[in-house]
Amino acid sequence: MFTKILIANRGEIACRVIRTARKLGVHTVAVYSDADARSLHAEMADEAVHIGPSPVGESYLRGDRIVAAALGTGAQAIHPGYGFLSENPDFVDQVVAAGLIFIGPSAASIRAMGLKDAAKRLMEKAGVPVVPGYHGEAQEIVLLASKAREIGYPVLIKARAGGGGKGMRHVEHPDDFSEALSSARREAKAAFGDDRVLVEKYVDKPRHIEVQVFGDNFGNAVHLYERDCSAQRRHQKVIEEAPAPGMTPALRKAMTEAAVKAAKAINYSGAGTIEFIVDASQGLKPDRFWFMEMNTRLQVEHPVTEMVTGTDLVEWQLRVASGEKLPKSQSEIALSGHAFEARIYAEDAAKGFLPATGTLHHLKFPGVAPEGAAMRIETGVRAGDAISPYYDPMIAKLVVHAGDRQAALEALRTALAQTEIAGSTVNTAFLATLAADPDFAAGDVDTGLIGRHQEALTAIAPPTGEIISAAVLAASGAGALPWSDDPWSSLAGYAHFQALVRRMRLKFGDEAIQAKVSMRPDGRFQVALDAPYDSINSHDLRAVPRLARWPDHITVFEGAVGYTFTVPDSLARSDDAAAASGSLRAPMPGLVKLVRVAKGDAVIKGQILLILEAMKMEHTIAAPHDGVIAEIAGEGSQVNDGTVLVRFVEEQGASTTATGR
């Protein structure tokens, strides 16, 4: 076993590797960028080395600096985590050339599976079924469009490199093919440095089911059963589970055998995942699944496999890379119970899952697992940490395990309802609503489920009078019971013949709220809300709702929903009158990738104005109304959250925030 390893990653996966290494007595070295100087992973490791500025191209993608850090600290091996350089064969060559060990597959195995088109040709030769489509080298638009017509619409354009839904476009009609191809190529180039694509038949009711495989350097390969990752938005996974609901013995046998066959075809060593697309339109059948791609690394969702098989896949990685054989044979790996993983992101589900930034002023996960279940919280952040625009906005992975799917799903719902995050827009309410969706609960899941139900899944009921009253109470100081030994102090004082009354102002979004708070003789506080609420709520301080107070804000938690109210500074001058009229602002920090219009152009509502690239995903910014362009951001310019992207000649009311399409 190694004595010291370097982890070429950040965030929750770096923390995850550190925990297992510590259990095995292996010392760890973290690397960090400027943005991560005070990060949890850098603090947890035994040593930490600075490798550059915040942008990934100047830090976490600098293989030379990472190798130098490993050599300089005496590390024997490098664990890549996932993302960044984890599937870069050139980096593997760098590591090996430096006399270090790469904790993962060989460069040859990564190259064999790294490009989707070449991988599918290889799988065809190995006898593994592949999705019908064009996987060739030629990339002329005329040829690709012709192949799409031959395959038959709808089709899926996919970047041949990378994953995570980047460079992927679903095309329903031939007229949309050219625009979708251009967009997919731009996104693929930005994310992977390769704009080549393949075109495949779009399966009508696709299930995304993947098989965890593991190989060693002695020719052994096993599977650790399957995971279902069909709950996706924008082709990115949201909730994963193991085993797959509705899985039949015949299909499991066929899929796991195909997965092991694929691993052995490339002499695979280490953790890997064989991803299959399954046509569920006629139920799960052993002749209706096809190889999609192989991820030659540890997957984000690996904890669900660990939960149902009782394994530590990171420990397996370290043991195999250090020269040991697989810890278990196939006959020793058994399934037990059911597990779910929910990915908690800083994102605005109601606005098309736009990534969000912010400071995590309040971060609280369930202290104990729901009754009858086990639970893991995989995170790389703490309260007070910032969600940076430079990296993936994942906050945590909430993982639960129970005896069966129904019990595990109930545990997931309970844990999500007990999670409290304030300071950034997050997706906990969406996850909880998805977990309660009747189709999802029944296991009738496919990759289009979220898209079909998106409006209902992302809708959040407005705050009730009780929730607003709780926020008012907290803003007055009376609701400070969890933080104050003297809840009476803010309203205490002498008032002859009548209760002392305090006038309060709050804002919920753009909506102004006014209320009166008074203290009753029985020790409760009465909150009278002005119109349009016209309600009076009395609150017993022994039953104050869950809430968090942070600079100029109060967040009240109702289940998995966090309602955030702004507490105006009564002494601050309002800048509303000075706000620019008829302007369109950036919804997040990003790069203006492409500008479609110019100053002086007349545009109509819905017309594409520019493409904003944020976190390596493209977001289309469209005109919110008819108008004439007065100013527009320059192509290639870097913008911050709230930066004015477009100004219109004619006033159209208050400034708006751009929305991605």
Task: Give catalytic residue positions.
Answer: 297
**CA distance to 169, 403, 418, 430, 516, per residue, from 409 (Å):** 31, 11, 14, 15, 42
Q: Find out whether 570 and 583 touch, Cβ atoms under 8 Å.
A: no
Amino acid at 47: E
Site of tokens 């940076």: 388
Rounded to the nearest 5 percent, the helix, strand and coil shares of the chain are 30, 30, 40
Pair 190, 61: CB distance under 8 Å: no
Residues 639-651: b if buried by 16+ CB within 10 A, e if exposed: bebebbbbbbeee
Place of tokens 């930034």: 357
Angle between helix 313-321 and 302-309 (nearest 10): 100
Question: Coil, strand or helix: which one is 40?
Answer: helix
The Cα–Cα gap between 278 and 287 comes to 9
3-state secondary structure 465-505: HHHHHHHHHHHHCHHHCCCCCCCCCCCCCCCCCCCCEEEEE
Asked whether 434 and 404 are in contact (CB, 8 A), the reply is no
Are residues 293 and 163 in contact, defined by beta-carbon separation less than 8 angstroms? yes
Measured between alpha carbons, how far is 306 from 323 in angstroms, rounded to an integer? 22
Identify the residue whose tokens are 């500025």. Answer: 53
Smallest CA-to-CA distance from 277 within 157, 131, 119 is with 131
Distance CA 457, CA 415 (A): 18
Residue 167, helix vs strand vs coil: coil
Report whether 315 contacts 24 (CB < 8 A). yes
**Is residue 614 within 8 Å of 590, Cβ to Cβ?**
yes
DSSP 155: E
Peptide bond into 154 cis (omega under 30): yes
Q: Which of 334, 422, 423, 344 is nearest to 376 (CA)?
A: 344
448 vs 208: CA distance, rounded Å: 11
Number of H helices, E strands in the chain: 16, 39
Residue 353 DSSP SS3:
coil
> Tokens 């190889």 sit at which residue?
291
Residues 73 and 67: beta-carbon distance below 8 Å:
no
Tokens coding 139: 């990339």
* β-strand pairing of 561-566 with 338-345: unpaired
In 3-state terms, what secondary structure has residue 313?
A: helix
Fill in the DSSP letter of residue 310: T
